Structure 1
Amino acid sequence: MNMQFWEVSALLRNLRYYLVNARRFFTGWSVTEIPPTELPRPEDR
């Protein structure tokens, strides 16, 4: 694979955003099982 540095960095950034969105989706999906006080809220800090 002959990819430029900016292509690799953009791909990794998109992958990181996808993982963050997937984690938020799963934490929101299991909100009925986990008390809201035990959910990690990094955006509230």
Structure 2
Amino acid sequence: GWKPKYGFSEGLKETVEWYLENEWWWKPLADERTLHPTPWKLKW
């Protein structure tokens, strides 16, 4: 059967570190509407 490679805490830490180190990858995908602090107030 399948077993996780990382525990939850370690996996979360690794994921956050990856996103911090690879901002070039995700930053162009995010725009103001996606990362807006209150997106429900925006008119789509």
TM-score by length of 2: 0.42
Q: Which structure is higher in helix share? A: 1
Q: Which has the higher contact order (CA 8 A, sep 6+)?
A: 1
